[in-house]
Each structure stands twice: as structure tokens, then as C-alpha cells.
Amino acid sequence: MSHQQSPESVPAANGMPMLGLGTWENTDPEACRNAVATALEMGYRHVDTAQIYGNEAEVGDGIARADVDREDIFLATKVWIDNLAPEDVRATTEESLDRLGVDSVDLMYVHWPAREYDAEETLAAFNELYEDGLIDRIGISNFEPEQVAEAVEVSDAPIFANQVEIHPLLQQDELREACADHDVELVAYSPLARGQVFDVPELTEIAEKHDASEAQVSLAWLREKGITTIPKATSEAHIRDNWESLGLTLDDEDIEAIDAIDREDRRVDPGFAPWN
């Protein structure tokens, strides 16, 4: 497999690089700064964080540390469920921008349709952020098909993406169809099923066939489906392994084998989730 992937080799979904660095649970400040800087120096141009991760400042430090222009980076964060009342949306978004050390973010998500979320009021506040140039795109996260439809209906600005858990063990067919119907991009968090992909015989077999890792197989399969992935990684080795998934092309037989995995293994399942 090629080791010479360039930033230009990352396919884009409407301007969003389809491979990004996730930072959930990357709570060690120096490790977080390092991971972000390392990924950017390697060629990543999409970084994802959230208010609740408690690491926006470190992500901002990592961006500042890397020798990459801010305008070349697709930066996303998320407003937490306690902050979704209209006045809190703006106040906490300004705090997020301040911590990140930026004037605006490329994508701001509603983190979950929970607690203070009210489709009309919350999204009206997001639309104001969009109109005022604080955010370039409006995203939603962990929305089920009916919530996606409602968000698209009540928002004046387009709903750009829905970030959800998707991987070979949670394929989300119905949700994928709903998002396609509404022209909403999909971003997969936990695309490696929190490490479970290493224990799936079908993926191991395909990985061995291509001299790749199971992680790379999972990421390549998602990309084949038109889904953007943001695997979290802290070590340079894992950041590189995920990056090198860009050099892996699965054949039809591989894709059919993964499509046929019939498991529903959801790894992120809080009580306030819309499916509970």
C-alpha cells in the first residue's frame, strides 16, 4: 500500500474531507495537542471535537502548532445538550471559538436531539450563527430519520451533515437512506466500533487479503458508501494506519462480504439517545 498519500488524495464530500481526526476521549492535554498537530502534518485536513470533550483549547493549540494554514483545515465542533436553548447556543459557540482560537468553524453540530433541544428554537439559533458567519455549515448528530426530516424542514439554511455511529457492525441502512433522501452528508464516529472491528472474522480475512489492517478495511468500506469517517487516534502509528486507509480499494466481493455482516452492535448508547 502506498505511504505517499497527500492531502489532495482525500476525497471530499461537498467540501468536507472524507477522512478526519476524531478527538473524543482524548483528554490528556499534551497527547491531544500532539495528535492534532501530527495528523495535520501527515496530511489530515478535517478535525472534529465538541464542547463536552473538554479539549477544544488543546485542539486549537494543535492546529496552531501545525504548519498548516487555518483556511485549509475543516474544523468541526458540537454544542452540548445543556446548551441548546437559543441564548446558550450563541454564548457557548462564542466560547468554543475562543477556546479553539478561531473566528469561525466550518461545521457546528447539535450534539444530540436531547435535553434543551427544541427543533425550531435551537435550529433558529444555529441559523443566526450561520448568517453571522460564526459557522459555515449546520450539522446534527445522533439524529434518527424522523429527527433528520424535522431538522431539514425547520432550518432555513441547509442541514449539511448528520454525525452518527456507523461501522460494519452497525450499518444504519435506514438512516443512510433517510440522509440520502434529504441530501444530508453522513459522518461516522466510532467507525472502528471502539476497536471491535479487529475481532470480526470477515474483516480480518479481507485485511489479510489486501495486506491491510481491519481498521483500514472498515474505513475503506465506509468511504465506499460515501460516508465521511473521523476515527479517533492518539498515537502516530494509529493516526498513520488510518491515513493509509486512503490507499486501500476494496473490490465488489469485499464490499458484499461486509454488507452481509448481520450484527447490531451499538457502542454508544446513552439513556437520552433518541432511539431509547
Residue 149: half-sphere exposure toward Cβ, Cα within 13 Å: 8
Residue 266's alpha-carbon distances to 15, 64, 167, 196, in angstroms, are 29, 35, 9, 11
| Those residues with Cβ within 8 angstroms of residue 77's Cβ, 6 or more apart along the chain or in another chain | 48, 49, 50, 51, 56, 96, 100, 105, 108, 109
CA distance 265 to 253: 23
Which residues contact residue 196 at a Cβ distance below 8 angstroms, ignoring those fewer than 6 apart? 167, 169, 265, 267
Which three-class secondary structure state does DSSP give residue 133? coil
Q: Is 109 a catalytic residue?
A: no
State the cell numbers at 31. Answer: 497527547
Spell 223-237 as b/e; 16+ CB within 10 A means b: bbbebbbbbbbbeee
Q: Which of 59, 65, 30, 58 is nearest to 47 (CA)?
A: 59
Among 44, 53, 109, 130, the active-site one is 53
| CA geometry: angle 194, 51, 215, nearest 5 deg | 20
Q: How many CA atoms lie within 13 A of 245 on its CB side?
A: 30
**Of 14, 12, 13, 18, residue with least CA distance to 243:** 18
Catalytic center residues: 53
